[in-house]
Amino acid sequence: MTTAPMPEFPAGFRWGASTSAYQIEGATTADGRGPSIWDTFAHTPGRIADGSTGDEACDHYHRYAEDVALLAGLEVSAYRFSIAWPRIQPTGAGPANPAGLDFYERLVDDLLGHGVDPVATLFHWDLPQALEDAGGWLDRDTAHRFAEYADLVAARLGDRVKLWITLNEPFIHMSLGHGMGMHAPGRMLLFDAFPVAHHQLLGHGLAVAALRARGSGPVAIANNYSPVRLAGDSDADRAAGAAYDALHNRLFTDPLLGRGYPELPGLDTAAVRDGDLDVIAAPLDVLGVNYYNPTGVRAAEEGSPLPFEMVPLAGYPRTAFDWPVVPDGLRDLLLQLHDRYGDALPPIQVTESGCAYDDEPDTDGRVHDPERIAYLDGHIRAVRAAMAEGVEVTGYFVWSLLDNWEWAEGFTKRFGLVHVDYATQRRTPKSSYAWFRDRVIRR
C-alpha cells in the first residue's frame, strides 16, 4: 500500500456504505413479514456453511438507530440498504403491509435527519416464498408483481429516497441461485436458467416505469462485474473468454443499454417477447457497479456443459473468501464499460466494493484490519485512475457497513467496517472505519 495521500475526488462525490435486508435485519417474523426464499433455503440442512440462518442476523430491525449513528459517525454522504419485499407484501401480491413500510420510513427519516442520503435497493434476492411457489423468476408474472411492489414502496418513500436501485446483481441471483444451486432458491438449471435473467430485466424495466410514474428520484441497477483474465492464448481460450464475458458482464448490461442480448452459445431466448427489449432499455440515471475480483478463464475440456472453464488467478494476495485482491481489475472494468458502451453509458457509482478477513478484537478490544485498509486504498485509487482516463464515476460504496450474514457462508465471512459480535450484537468500529472517514471522506 502506498503512503501517498489519497488523490482528490470531485466535490459532491458520493461516499457510502452498503448492506442488504436479509443479511442484517433479523426479525424475520416481526410485524407481518412473510417468508422469503432465503428463509427457506437457510433453514434447509446442509445449505449454509455454518448451519446458521438470517433469523437474527445483526438484529438491525431493532437496532437501526444505533446503525444510523454509526453511519453518521463515519460521515458518509449515503447509505445503500435494501427493502425486504416480504415485509411490504408478505405473499408478494396484494396491498402493502403498513408496518413494513413504517420500518423503512423510520430508517429513511433517521438517515435524512443525520444528513445521510438513503439509497434503496428494491430486490436484494429475498423473493417472497409465495412467489417462488408460483414459479419465481422463471415465471413472467413475477416481473409484473415486482413492478407493483415498486409502486407501493415509491408511493410511501418516493419523495425521500435519493437513489433507487431496482435489482442487486441479477447475474449472481440467476447463476448461483438458479444455475448452480448454491444460493436460494437452490435450482440447478445451468443455461436453462436464462428466463430468470430475462424476467428480472423485464421486472427492472417495469419497475423503472412505476418509479418514474410516481415522480421518484434517480434510478439505477446494481450489476456484478468481473473482468476476464485469460489463462491461455489459444483461439479456444479467447473464445472461452468472450463467452464468459458475454455471460457475466454483458448479458444484463447490453439489453439495459439498448443493445439487446449478446451472442452466447447455449442461450435460448424463447422467453423474450415483442416489446420487452424496449421496456428493459428504459433510460437509467446511474449504473451501479459491484466489483470484487476478475475471473481467470480458459477453454473448457471436451464434453463440458459450459463453453469455458474458470481457473484461479495466481500471484495475488487473497481475502478470507480466497478471492484474489486485484485493484487494477476495477480500473480495467470501468475503462472497459466506458469503451464498450460510449455515450450510452450513464454515470457510474461503485455500489459495492470490499473484502472479507477474519477480523477479531485484540486483547484491548480494538479490531485492527490493515488488510481491509490496503484493499480499500487500492480500489479507491483504481476508481480515481479510471476517472482520470475519462470515466464518469460519481460514487463509491464500501461493502459493508457491518459484518453480516454472508449468504451460503453464514457468519463465517466478515466484510464490515464495523465488527459485530453476534452473541451480544455489540458493534465495534474497526480501524478501517476511522481510516475511511479520516483519509478518504474528510480530506
**Nearest CB to ligand FCB, comparing residues 15 and 399:** 399
Question: By CB under 6 A, which span of 131-139, 156-164, 165-173, 232-240 interacts with ligand FCB?
Answer: 165-173
Other Cβ atoms closer than 10 A to 191: 15
Q: What are phi and psi of 123, to 5 degrees?
A: -140, 105
Candidate list 399, 411, 433, 435; residue touching ligand FCB; CB under 6 A: 399
**Nearest CB to ligand FCB, comparing residues 142 and 224:** 224
Give min distance, CB of 431 to ligand FCB, in A: 20
Give min distance, CB of 73 to ligand FCB, in A: 23
Give min distance, CB of 57 to ligand FCB, in A: 12
415 interacts with ligand FCB by CB under 6 A: yes
Residues 71-110 that bind ligand FCB (CB under 6 A): none
Amino acid 69 reads A
In angstroms, rounded to a whole number, what is the distance separating the alpha carbons of residues 182 and 176? 5
Give min distance, CB of 301 to ligand FCB, in A: 28
Amino acid 412 reads T
In angstroms, rounded to a whole number, what is the distance separating the alpha carbons of residues 63 and 306? 45
**Nearest CB to ligand FCB, comparing residues 178 and 298:** 178
224 interacts with ligand FCB by CB under 6 A: yes
Candidate list 97, 121, 168, 353; residue touching ligand FCB; CB under 6 A: 168
Binding track, positions 350-389, relative to ligand FCB; x by CB under 6 A: --x-------------------------------------
Question: By CB under 6 A, which span of 65-73, 168-176, 179-187, 431-439 interacts with ligand FCB?
Answer: 168-176
Query: Which residues does the annotation mark as catalytic?
Result: 169, 352
Give min distance, CB of 163 to ligand FCB, in A: 16
Residue found by looking up cell 410485524 in the block:
31
In angstroms, rounded to a whole number, what is the distance separating the alpha carbons of residues 351 and 165? 10
126 interacts with ligand FCB by CB under 6 A: no
Size of site (CB under 6 A) for ligand FCB: 12
Give min distance, CB of 200 to ligand FCB, in A: 14
Residues 279-308 that bind ligand FCB (CB under 6 A): 290
Binding site for ligand FCB (CB under 6 A): 20, 23, 168-169, 172, 224, 290, 352, 399, 406-407, 415
